[in-house]
Amino acid sequence: MAADFDPSRWLRSARRLLGRLPSVSATFARIPSQPALALRDPWPGDPTQGGRLLKGELAACGAVVPLLPEAWGTTWPPVVAEAAHGFAWLRDLRALGSDAARLRARALILGWLEAAPRLSPTAFGEAATGARLAAWLTHWDFVAASADEAFRQAMMARVWEDARDLAAALPAETMDRRAFTVLKGLVAAGAALPGGEAWLARALRFLGQEIERQILPDGGHVERSPEGLAAVLMDLIEIRGWLAAAKVAIPDSLAAAIARAAPMLAALRHGDGGLALFNGSREGSASLLSLLLAQTEARIRPATRSPAMRLERLAAGRTVLIVDAGPPPPRGQDRLSHAGTLSFELSVGRDRLIVNCGAAPAAPDAWRDALRATAAHSTLVIADVNSSELKPEGLGRRPEDVTLQRHEANGAHWLDATHDGWRKPFGAIHRRRLYLGDSGEDIRGEDAIEAPLPQPFAIRFHLHPSVTASLQQDGAGVLLRTPNSGGFVMRADGARLSLEESVYAGTDERRRTQQIVLSGGPEDGPCLVKWAITRAGAG
């Protein structure tokens, strides 16, 4: 038993227990009936989602589940449960601006309060608690200002208890992006509630440490996920705004983190304004991303290099090519990571051409892992074995050495990268070379496997559902037609070319699409495949 003893966890539990004991000041101070400072939620809600909530449905993480005042004990997938108990969806009801929306929000909160004693531990996890604190306090006027005294007291008592729990639990046990959600909840409580100065000071004490641990020098995020970076930047902007409202000095580390992260997030958007699909990301809302970047209050030009996050952006003309050219995130930060090392996405103007398949964090394990697999990414896979081993809690075996060289001249870009994800099972190294011409209409690549013996392989190029693909008559190329950017031709040498079915989960709606597959076997000799995507009719 002694070997299983975790001193840090014991200390955290002890702090929580002590935090629940009434302090001398609390003995003489009544829990307030309302916040002393009105906090603002800076993000717009979605009235369409608000309408679904009125019908008793919550759309979260690509899933739709029933959400009714009397049904809070329902079992949901973990990521959906965290979103439900976090109450950020209150902004969607607020966006409707109707009395019916206000009454539904109030009914759902009252139902949650009544169900609290029998709810699952997820409801009281650090991330859900932090999100709930922030949501309840920033929507107080919408939900509670006109409610009866009993409702306001019950809601404020829960806020007070949640804030005490979070303060006692710090430093957060959550090691990934959700640690910022934990901290923003305590910042909200410390800024809004009378007597919350100690909570605010405690949150700020750990905020700088978390920024240093998670925000990379180039402004990227340690999880190497565009969606994760956007979520963290949203949390940081909320924290900054609430500190300003409370007339508390903005820490230099917070201001610097926001200024660094904004250009990196801008670099991870395609021409349609949505995000690139790496490590659990989906497209997201282009308008919300634009608002997010505007809220940073910085002059933003997309970062041209990514030496720490290693999601490389190559841009020329109207073309954007984004490449996962780095090792997977470290353990503890890889909860949503994919086995997509050296995959890339390609867009021209507002048209996505080559994509990864996306993510379904709320789907059953089989679907979730199918989208995390190497085969769901636009890259090479050996013998249908993932470049990183997929596990429920993250990744097991993974590439340890990922090399990268990048060159630019006269508007053209070259990228030369390798990874050793298959060194243990096959003694193999994958080398990928990419070239983007200065016009943006000449994209070339070379994929090679360096191994003692030839290996079976497939190089996949997943197409966005808006792209129409057809094999050319000679079978050596594929004609690709986009809605707005015209046609392109892909040709390859050194592999068999085929057109197969695929799936796209870059948005809430899972859609059928196609993929170009370049394949070969041991009988074909060592893998050395050259391919090119050029404007149809060029040359």
Neighbours of 289 (CB within 10 A): 22
Q: How confident is the model at residue 6 (pLDDT cuts 50, 70, 90)?
A: low
Instruction: Give the separation between CA 497 and CA 519, rounded to whole angstroms.
Output: 7
Angle at 366 between CA 68 and CA 355, to 5 degrees: 95
Instruction: Give the separation between CA 310 and CA 306, rounded to whole angstroms.
Output: 5
Q: How confident is the model at residue 299 (pLDDT cuts 50, 70, 90)?
A: confident
How many H helices and E strands in the chain?
A: 16, 20
490-519 pLDDT, tens per residue?
Answer: 999 999 999 999 999 999 889 999 999 999
Evaluate if residue 27 carries a pLDDT over 50.
Answer: no
Instruction: Give the separation between CA 96 and CA 459, rounded to whole angstroms.
Output: 47
DSSP 122: G
Q: What percent of the chain has pLDDT over 90?
A: 86
**pLDDT at residue 218, as a whole number:** 96
The region, left, alpha or beta by phi > 0 then psi within -120 to 50, assigned to residue 268 is alpha
Evaluate if residue 267 carries a pLDDT over 50.
Answer: yes
Mean residue pLDDT across the chain: 93
**pLDDT at residue 26, as a whole number:** 43
167-218 pLDDT, tens per residue?
Answer: 999 987 778 999 999 999 999 999 999 999 999 999 999 999 999 999 999 9
For residue 215, give the nearest of 174, 253, 165 by alpha carbon.
Answer: 253
Alpha helices in 285-363 (DSSP H): 286-295
Instruction: Give the separation between CA 507 and CA 515, rounded to whole angstroms.
Output: 18
For 424, what's the count of Cα atoms within 13 Å in the CB-facing half-sphere? Answer: 12
Evaluate if residue 162 carries a pLDDT over 90.
Answer: yes
Domains of the chain plus CATH, in order, are 2-171 (no CATH), 311-535 (2.70.98.70)
Residue range 78-87: mean pLDDT, rounded: 95
For every residue of 2-57, DSSP letters joined together read GGG--HHHHHHHHHHHHHHSPPHHHHHSPPPSS-SS-----S---HHHHHHHHTTE
**pLDDT at residue 73, as a whole number:** 81
For residue 26, give the nearest of 245, 248, 199, 191 by alpha carbon.
Answer: 199
Residue range 404-423: mean pLDDT, rounded: 97
This model's pTM is above 0.75? yes
Instruction: Give the separation between CA 187 and CA 210, rounded to whole angstroms.
Output: 14
Residue range 355-383: mean pLDDT, rounded: 96
Is 511 within 8 Å of 282 (Cβ atoms)?
no
**pLDDT at residue 5, as a whole number:** 43
Q: Which residues pair with 408 in a beta bridge?
A: 413
Dig out the tokens for 215 from the structure. 């925000």
Which range among 16-20, 188-192, 428-432 shows the weakest confidence by mean pLDDT?
A: 16-20
Residue range 35-60: mean pLDDT, rounded: 96
